Amino acid sequence: MVVRTAEAFRKKSSIDALTGHRVERIDSAAGRVTGQGPDGKAFALAYDRLLIATGAEPIVPRQPGFDHPQVAVVKTLEDAHAIKTRLATGAVKTALIMGMGYIAMEMAEALRLREVSVAMVKPRAELLPWLDLDLAATVRRELDAHQVQLYTGFDVARIDGGQRPLAVYDTNGTSLSADLVIVATGVRPNSALADAAGLQLGPAQSIAVDRQLRTSNPVIYAAGDCADAFHVVTGQRAWIPLALRANRAGWAVADHVCGKEVSLQGVAGTAVFKVFDLQVARTGLTMAEATQAGFAPAAVTISTSSRAHSHPGATPIQVHMVGDKRSGRLLGTQMVGREGAAHRINAPAVALHAAMTVEQFSQSDLAYAPPFGPTWDPLLVAANQLLKKMKEE
């Protein structure tokens, strides 16, 4: 779905949206960008202020076979249309998805709904390494229940496209066959232009920006997936490419260029996605991230009910919560459930922005009615148990 067309930008907002124009160089000394327009025609545009919002690009391995037409990425609408067109031919009976992140999971669901057999592969042993093991086991069961074949520890070495179906080999010589291969192994920031222009880079080679979204050159801004942000829990620079913070950063740049005061607080890494009938959500730090950031973390994992226990239709909901034993601060929360996980994560997300302690969070007046949760909300059950654990340890 196209949310807003270039034509709407031109007509409604008087923005000269030059689609089909690729910037190839930023000449910061001259205040100019140059590149190629449609039909390869060179163009040059001068600027007083420049915003780099070049997003991120899918990481595609360089091993042999990845240039085969039956190997696809899922980044743009065109990518999705191309996959749908292939599926419509009826020739895709089996698909192999490289990666087990949220885009990979969403693709697995979309393909299974179209009755395509799906295998997912990744080199590491863990399904979702950032997710608590008990919660990850629930996600695994959901994938199993929908006949998604999972091959962890499968490190793709090459794709043999000389035959149909394609043969995908791992480094040990084991092979899996598929009519379609989808590469969903993560993204990297499109920061090469900024790097070539001498701008400072941050984590994962994203463009380093301050709280006003200025790069190391004060007339050049960067926003969205190409840029970093400050993490509200650690205070450190972080690269977490997600849509809300991209959108918010874009608006903030416009405000700042127009002379308004801007200071973005940062990101908590709040994210949510669907795996068939499961909602998976997270905000803040994992135990490993908390340790790495110098906290003394403790964590609990609880399982309770999505509705009052006697209410029909109640399903399990799991909460994993992390706190800092030294300061008492809440550091992060993860949730998995069939209902009530996706939006509940916003409560701990706000608590992270407010730097609340686990004790303060445990005292929050959260909503209760039988169809929506137990009297003690799952988040409060987790916070109470975490509080106990933090005092004991």
The DSSP 8-state label assigned to residue 72 in this structure reads: E
Residue 118 neighbours by CB under 8 Å, 6+ apart: 94, 95, 96, 97, 108, 111, 112, 147, 148, 149
23 lines the binding site for ligand FAD (CB under 6 A): yes
Q: Binding marks (x or -) toward ligand FAD, 42..81, rule CB under 6 A?
A: -----------xxx------------------xx------
**Ramachandran class of 72: left when φ > 0, alpha when ψ lies in -120 to 50, beta otherwise:** beta
Task: Tell me how far CA of residue 165 lies from CA of 71, 288, 347, in angstroms.
Answer: 12, 40, 47
Selected binder of ligand FAD within 224, 269, 337, 348 (CB under 6 A): 224
Which of 50/103 has CB closer to ligand FAD?
103
- Least spacing, CB of residue 279 vs ligand FAD, in Å: 12
- Least spacing, CB of residue 172 vs ligand FAD, in Å: 30
Contact window for ligand FAD (CB under 6 A) among 212-220, 239-247, 254-262, 286-294: 239-247
Residue 246 neighbours by CB under 8 Å, 6+ apart: 53, 55, 223, 224, 225
Selected binder of ligand FAD within 109, 142, 179, 225 (CB under 6 A): 225
254 lines the binding site for ligand FAD (CB under 6 A): no
Residue ranges in 169-198 that form contacts with ligand FAD under rule CB under 6 A: 190, 193
Which of 50/178 has CB closer to ligand FAD?
50
242 lines the binding site for ligand FAD (CB under 6 A): yes
- Burial (CB count <10 Å: 0-12, 13-18, 19+), residue 293: middle
Task: Tell me how far CA of residue 388 lies from CA of 222, 284, 355, 375, in angstroms.
Answer: 43, 21, 19, 20
Q: Binding marks (x or -) toward ligand FAD, 86..115, rule CB under 6 A?
A: -----------------x------------
248 lines the binding site for ligand FAD (CB under 6 A): no
Q: Whole-angstrom Cα distance, residue 130 to residue 37?
A: 42
Q: Which two tokens stand for residue 103?
A: 């885009």
Which spans of this chain sit near ligand FAD (rule: CB under 6 A)? 22-23, 53-55, 74-75, 103, 190, 193, 224-225, 241-244, 246
